[in-house]
Each structure stands twice: as C-alpha cells, then as structure tokens.
Amino acid sequence: MSNNVLTAHSGKSGSGWLKGVSIALSVVLSLPILVVLSHVVLGDASVWNHLVDTVLFGYISNSLYLMGGVTFGVLLFGVPTAWLTSVCVFPGHKWLSVALLLPLAVPAYIIAYTYTGFFDYAGPIQTLIRDITGLGYGEYWFFTVRSLPGAIVMLSLVLYPYVYLMARAAFLEQSSNTLEVSRTLGYGHRQSFFKLGLPLARPAIVAGVTLVLMETLADYGTVQFFGVNTFTTGIFRTFYGFGDAVAASQLAATLLFFVTLLILLERYSRRKIRYHSSGLNKASNRKIELKGAYGISALLFCMIPVLFGFIFPVLQLAYWAVFDSIGLDNSFFKLAWNSLSLAFIASLMAVFCALVLSYASRLFPRKSINAAVSMSGLGYALPGTIIAIGVIIPFAWVDHQIINAVKTVTGEKTGLWLSGTIFALLFAYTVRFMAVSLGAVQSGLGKIKPSLDMAGRSLGLTPLGVLKQIHVPLLKGSVLTALLIVFVDVLKELPATLILRPFNFNTLAVRAFELASDERLADAAPASIMIVLVGLIPVTLLSRSISSRN
C-alpha cells in the first residue's frame, strides 16, 4: 500500500503530534549549527580581526596542506589495495581483504602517541642510533615525527579504510565482461585499471575521500600533539586563551565553510555522470591471478598499511601497558566506567531520536519533514569542536538567565544547570552522531513493507503501537548496529569532550590525551588500548558483513 495512504490514515487517527515533535526535535538538534552561523553576522569582530591579522592564514594554509597530503596518502593506500583484493588472487588476499579494515579501530591521536614514543628523540630508534654512532643531539639527521608531514602520515594510516571500503565495493560491482573487453582492445592489467576500473569507481572513491577530509578537518588530538596549527587547534586556543566564545564560533563557522565546500564539491563531481554495470559476472567471480614476484609484491604492498596502521601500534601499546605503564588502578576503572556509561546513554539517546524522526518521515513523507530530518543529521559532517562551541554558547546563556532569576527571587546563588554538566556532553554527542543512527534506522524501516503498517492499524493499533509492536522487533538488527557504532564513536570522541566535560570528570580518551601531552606516553597506553579494543567490535562486524555479501 502506498505511503500516501499511510499518511492520510495516520493523519486522521491523531498521529499529527508526531510531525510537530519531529520538527521541534530537528530544530533542537540543529541549534549548535544555527548558533555558530549566527555569530558570523552578529558577533563582535575585534578578536576576529586580530586573528585575521596574525594566525588565520596559518590555520588555512596548514589545513589545506594537511588535506592535500592526507588525500594523497589515502589514495595511495586505499585504491590499489582495494583493486588487488577485489579483482586479483595472490597469497593472503582473503585475510588481507579483512585485515585492511583494522586501522579503522585506531583513533588518529592514539597512533600519533605510539609513533612519537617510538621514533622521537628519546625513543628506542634514535637512542640506538646515538649508542651505535656516538653522535649527540643535532649531529645526525632523523625525520621529525611531530610535524605536518608526520600528521599527514598518521591520519593517512588510520583513514585510508574509508577509501578502501568505497573503492572495493565499486570494484566488486564492476562486470568482469568490462575487463574482458579491455583485453580485446589490447589493454594489459595495468591499463585496464587506469582506463576502465579506476574511472568506473571514481564516484565511490571521491565519496570516500570526502569522508576522509571531513575527518581530517575534525581531528584535534593529532595536530595538537604534533604542534600543527589548524582550525581545530585555533578554536581551542581562542576559546581557552582569549576566553572568547564568539571569536571561537567565528573560527568554527570558517571551518564549517570548508566542510560545506567539500560536500558541494563531492556532489558536483557526480552532477550528471552515471556509471553503469551490468551486475552480471562480477569481477569477484573471475579474478586475475598474480603469481611469483607479482603475487609477493601484492602481498607486501597490502601488508604495509595493516602493519603500520594497526599491528605495530597495537603491539607497542600492549608492551607499554604491560611493562612500562603505572598499571591499572581504581582511577582507570573509574575512567572506563565514565566512558562506557556516557557512550551507552548517548547511543540510547541518539537511537531514540532517530526512531522518532525516521518514523515521522515514514508517516509523513513531505518536504518539510524530510528537510527537518536531513537538518538533524548534519552534525556528523561537522567537527566536534564546532558542535561543542554551538552547544556551550546557548547553554551558558540559559544558565545565566536561570541564575539571575533565582537570585532575583530568593537572593541566593545557584550553580550551572546545563553548561559544564553531563547533559551538555550527552546533547553534543547526540547531535554529533545523529546521522549514524538515522542512516541505520532509515535503512531498516525502508525494508519494512507499508502493508504491515496497515495490517497493524486494521487490528486497532495506534501509530505508536505499530512502531512499538511491529517495527521495533523488526528493526532489532538496525537498532543494535546504530547503538554499537554510536557507542564506539562516542568512546573515541576527543574535542567535544575536552570542551564540554564537567570539572574533575575524565574519560579514557581525555586521560590518554592528558598523559600524552605530559609526555607520559607509556602511562597513556592502558586507556589507549582499551579504546582500540572496543573499536574492534564494529570493525569485526563490518568485515563479517562484507564477507557474507561476497
């Protein structure tokens, strides 16, 4: 039965309140973005002018260099490995197709701590060089890990799986007939890749690179630890150094412009271009066999990002955690409890809001509702710094109004009600990761036939009853997926937590960051490896899902 019938039937049975609730909820979830944008026009320009005259050009240039270098890195690691594991057969190609996803579980700031501890001046490599050669500081050359090139390498190692996933899916969908035709035209394997395989996969690769660049712009832990001045570090310095939330929001709005530009460029790149595949005889069914030196070369090339993006960092963290760290004490378990409980509550909030918005969109498939739902999912495209600034400004304003009102009525001072509380942090997490929940829930709802809704309504169920008794049981898989992904994302989130956390409240991510900032890299290992191990759960599920489809 059509959605139009569903809409009409729902409207007559008093479910119109859901439409109002969904619009109101989307406005609340969009509040941080609206606040940041409003300060571009309404905010005081004095500090902003100082930033323009002194540091803004450096923020822009470093951010652009970082984006360009990471783009090159993820394309270098992601596209060839996707091609090799999808259309070629060589030793170890099956387990490598899964292993190449593992760096997704490692946050960029954690891999930065690991390599700094290993390659920095006090690390074992440079210490060994000095012991063997007898040279002192400044008498030999060794690459500087804490630098812009170092940040590019770190981010490339953990973000290339976005491009790998997108490109591999595109290569697997390509018809093997296309490759056969290329051979009749005289193309070798290399020419087939560059002239047919790569152009056909371009939309997917561009989408993957866009995701990578948004994550690059959102990164704070890596660039701050390496001393690279970008927009995210600038926002923190302006907020804490100048104590100026307005100027910080103006910087955040500039960063928002870059993110919006990325999204528009990605859409423009696919404006009227269509790539079609027959869907028959997919490349995965008839693969290119790489033997001898070619097979070994493919194995070694695919091993590079796995080795340096996952295996080595995890082994180093495990060694530090067991032999060099202060060990596990009550404070560690308290941090773990803080992190896990925050992640659990935030994931429940995000999935609940996603259910309300997605169900409203199903009952009322109109432009206003669809626009409202789309607005509420914008947070995932924005760095945590922007979300945090957009949350703290209105929350602080409300707090001041409450404090003034209470003081006027009772003459007593009251503490903060919203800003600087767990609620502010949970709200920011919900805004930041709403798109993840929406995507999973909407995908699950799309698979449920409208006839089931009408069958439930014919049995006397209200729209809320249909959602509770029919949809939710059928959506268990999608809901659990959304819960899990949001849970892990919240566990890894650093910049929003640093800005919005209550006083004397830490999480595993914040504690690892603080210890690393104090050069206590080994002591940061237990918290870091805990984050990595939890992050392996969705990566494992994702790899199983891919394996079952192929």
Residue 169 belongs to domain with CATH number = 1.10.3720.10
Please indicate, yes or no, if residue 347 is contained in any of the structural domains. yes
Q: Which is higher by pLDDT, 87 or 75?
A: 75
Do 306 and 260 belong together in one domain? yes
Q: Which is higher by pLDDT, 10 or 147?
A: 147
Number of domains the chain is built from: 2
pLDDT of residue 283 exceeding 50, the answer is no
Name the phi and psi angles at 258, rounded to 5. -60, -45
Q: What percent of the chain has pLDDT over 70?
A: 87
Please indicate, yes or no, if residue 510 is contained in any of the structural domains. yes
Q: Which residues contact 129 (CB under 8 A, 6 or more apart)?
A: 135, 140, 142
Q: Which is higher by pLDDT, 177 or 419?
A: 419
Do 234 and 128 belong together in one domain? yes
Which range has the worst mean pLDDT, 164-178, 350-364, 458-472? Answer: 164-178
| pLDDT for 236 | 86
* Domain C-terminal end among 268, 289, 320: 320
Task: Name all contacts of 334-337 with Cβ < 8 Å and 24+ positions apart.
Answer: 335/506, 335/507, 335/508, 335/511, 335/527, 336/508, 336/530
pLDDT band per the 50, 70, 90 thresholds, residue 276: very low
pLDDT band per the 50, 70, 90 thresholds, residue 199: confident
Query: What does the alpha-carbon distance between residue 17 and residue 15 come to, in Å, rounded to a whole number?
Result: 5
| pLDDT for 112 | 93
* Domain C-terminal end among 301, 320, 339: 320
| pLDDT for 1 | 44
Do 277 and 338 belong together in one domain? no
Beta carbons of 221 and 291 less than 8 angstroms apart:
no
Average pLDDT over residues 342-362: 90
Average pLDDT over residues 40-49: 72
Give me the domain span that covers residue 347.
1-38+326-521
pLDDT of residue 346 exceeding 90, the answer is yes
Q: Which is higher by pLDDT, 43 or 209?
A: 209
* Domain C-terminal end among 320, 346, 381: 320
pLDDT of residue 279 exceeding 50, the answer is no
Q: Which is higher by pLDDT, 377 or 505?
A: 505
Do 298 and 337 belong together in one domain? no
Do 342 and 297 belong together in one domain? no
Do 201 and 303 belong together in one domain? yes
Please indicate, yes or no, if residue 491 is contained in any of the structural domains. yes
pLDDT band per the 50, 70, 90 thresholds, residue 439: confident
| pLDDT for 316 | 93
Please indicate, yes or no, if residue 530 is contained in any of the structural domains. no
Do 331 and 314 belong together in one domain? no
Query: What does the alpha-carbon distance between residue 509 and residue 339 come to, in Å, rounded to a whole number?
Result: 8
Do 28 and 55 belong together in one domain? no
Average pLDDT over residues 175-199: 62
Question: 311-344, pLDDT tens digit by residue?
Answer: 999 999 999 999 888 877 788 899 999 999 999 9
pLDDT of residue 88 exceeding 70, the answer is yes
pLDDT band per the 50, 70, 90 thresholds, residue 278: very low
Please indicate, yes or no, if residue 536 is contained in any of the structural domains. no
Please indicate, yes or no, if residue 545 is contained in any of the structural domains. no
Dmax of the chain from CA atoms?
Answer: 88
Average pLDDT, the chain: 82
Beta carbons of 305 and 100 less than 8 angstroms apart:
yes
pLDDT of residue 226 exceeding 90, the answer is yes
Residues paired with residue 89 on neighbouring β-strands, in sequence order: 289
| pLDDT for 39 | 73
| pLDDT for 550 | 58
Please indicate, yes or no, if residue 284 is contained in any of the structural domains. yes
pLDDT of residue 196 exceeding 70, the answer is no
Question: Which of 154, 159, 130 shows the shortest CA–CA distance to 142?
Answer: 130
pLDDT of residue 402 exceeding 70, the answer is yes
Please indicate, yes or no, if residue 534 is contained in any of the structural domains. no
Do 492 and 371 belong together in one domain? yes
Name the phi and psi angles at 382, rounded to 5. -110, 145
Do 143 and 197 belong together in one domain? yes
pLDDT of residue 150 exceeding 80, the answer is yes
Q: Which is higher by pLDDT, 373 or 432?
A: 432
Do 374 and 394 belong together in one domain? yes
pLDDT band per the 50, 70, 90 thresholds, residue 265: confident
Do 259 and 338 belong together in one domain? no
